[in-house]
Structure 1
């Protein structure tokens, strides 16, 4: 779990492509709205606060250039402990926090916004998330192990082997994993492969080397999958990264993962 505060006052509106990153994001907005558009369905929503679950498709995020709030990044098993399985009943949909947590997120956001200093806000957030954690239901150790294996292997571990190692039958494994993580194991494996492929391409590996390393059948298969999950071919995504490596890394909301791109022109 990690979080940050932000106060943006930019000269112009901002548009960013948000791609599948394997995390659940809770945005606690103090003022101004963020528009999110599901690029798979074309559905747009304007919200000050939101919960973005695991997803396998791209999202366009837009705002006026002025945003103020806090962002909490959660592993999906931690989101399950904090919010239960309600958010997983509507997979891949960005939700209003009240849909999964009642008014408690709204009340917390109001309390955070009233505090004058970031140090006080982080202290209150620590306290409240700690309380919610203690009151929540822990993720199954077997589900957590399977999630970590998918992360560790970049999605390359056979799903059948994971199910076998948990001691559950295939169907029971799939149901429990979906309930506590939010997507099927195969969908999570796709996200992990995407993340690994984009990291390797960004580090300068050739497309052929990357496809082989990530377990795609060939370069064309990798390109199709990247386009399906991000909306753009790999070449356009890489061009959308900022010129310097430091700036490119600063686009990402989660250390060690590729999360965001300037909107590819």
Structure 2
């Protein structure tokens, strides 16, 4: 089993405590398994977090009470214990009663294609119960992770499961992995025609492979990654006009329209929610994926 580097962060707020534990996956899993994050939150009131489109597929295994999930602007309608969140083009909102304990696995979408063995378009804009993808193995995994005495052993259990599934699942095409990497590195700035040329595929074939192995068309994936780049720039203090120009939007109004359509917020409103946060909320360092928003007392 590969060695794990584990980092911890914790804090106390006026409402309670939180602790995050980050783990590095076994190197044999490759660059498609981006990281593990254990979490434990103990607050005296409900918590609500908005998750914006971010280019990640996330597997979540909860040890505590289920999380209620909805689309932004709608009342929570579905409760999940453990789930897989596919690539999104709109925002999702998760709400819990203040106590959470579990682990997240962050995946590149082409790696999720191999690990879960389903066309990724089936997960687009969806949160799927883990049991639908792993079968009875999901409950076994939940039980073993909950009983494990510490985070390194939990991460080792995840390594073992993912290595097994990596060996058995369908491999993503190298051209898909390359094209996704180009889009990621450019913040969605590479034209689809250039991606097709680089893969040696026709634009139509590239789109078919992307929908199967990524979950979105190249054009839609570029929109998501362009939004992520804009979020990073805005959160870093860049002006909206400069951000729009750098990220390939026609103008500032175009940035605002896409931002609201994909997150449910105006840029300034979203950043205000992030500024009110008393603990880290983003899935991965260097990305802007989430914000804490007010939740009603129960």
* TM-score category (smaller protein): over 0.9
Distance apart, 1:231 and its partner CA? 0.3
Q: Which runs of 5+ in 2 are unaligned?
A: 1-32
Question: How big is the alpha-carbon RMSD for the aligned residues of Structure 1 and Structure 2?
Answer: 1.8
Larger proportion of helix? 1
Distance apart, 1:105 and its partner CA? 2.4
- Following superposition of structure 1 onto structure 2, how do residues 56-205 of structure 1 map, counting pairs within 5 Å? 56-205=89-238
Paired residue secondary structure (2:89) = coil
Which has the higher mean CA deviation after the structures are superposed, 28-37 or 78-87? 78-87
| Residue 281 (structure 2) aligns with | 251
Q: State how far apart, in whole Å, the 1-side matches of 2:128 and 2:74 are.
A: 15
Question: 1:231-262: CA deviations, max 9, x gaps?
Answer: 01011011112268xx57x2212111101112
> Which of 31, 35, 60 is the equivalent residue of 2:64?
31
Larger proportion of strand? 2
| Residue 46 (structure 2) aligns with | 13
Question: 1:9-31: CA deviations, max 9, x gaps?
Answer: 11111011110011001011112
Q: 1:38 touches 1:44 (CA, 8 Å); kept in 2?
A: no
Q: Which runs of 5+ in 1 are unaligned?
A: none
Q: 1:17 touches 1:262 (CA, 8 Å); kept in 2?
A: yes
Q: TM-score, normalised by structure 1?
A: 0.93
Residue 78 of structure 2 corresponds to residue 48 of structure 1: no
Q: 2:67 touches 2:95 (CA, 8 Å); kept in 1?
A: yes
Distance apart, 1:86 and its partner CA? 4.4
Q: State how far apart, in whole Å, the 2-side matches of 1:262 and 1:216 are.
A: 27
Paired residue secondary structure (1:155) = coil
Paired residue secondary structure (2:79) = strand
Q: Relative to structure 1, is the Cα distance of residues 165 and 264 closer, same or farther in structure 2, using a 3 angstrom cutoff?
A: farther
Paired residue secondary structure (1:70) = strand
Q: 2:87 touches 2:123 (CA, 8 Å); kept in 1?
A: no
Q: Relative to structure 1, is the Cα distance of residues 96 and 3 closer, same or farther in structure 2, using a 3 angstrom cutoff?
A: same
Q: State how far apart, in whole Å, the 2-side matches of 1:87 and 1:45 are.
A: 21
Q: State how far apart, in whole Å, the 2-side matches of 1:118 and 1:204 are.
A: 35
Q: Relative to structure 1, is the Cα distance of residues 41 and 253 closer, same or farther in structure 2, using a 3 angstrom cutoff?
A: same
Question: 1:142-164: CA deviations, max 9, x gaps?
Answer: 00011011101111111122112
Q: TM-score, normalised by structure 2?
A: 0.83
Paired residue secondary structure (2:128) = coil
Distance apart, 1:77 and its partner CA? 0.9
Q: 1:86 touches 1:100 (CA, 8 Å); kept in 2?
A: no
Q: State how far apart, in whole Å, the 2-side matches of 1:192 and 1:117 are.
A: 35
Distance apart, 1:133 and its partner CA? 1.2
Q: How many residues align?
A: 262
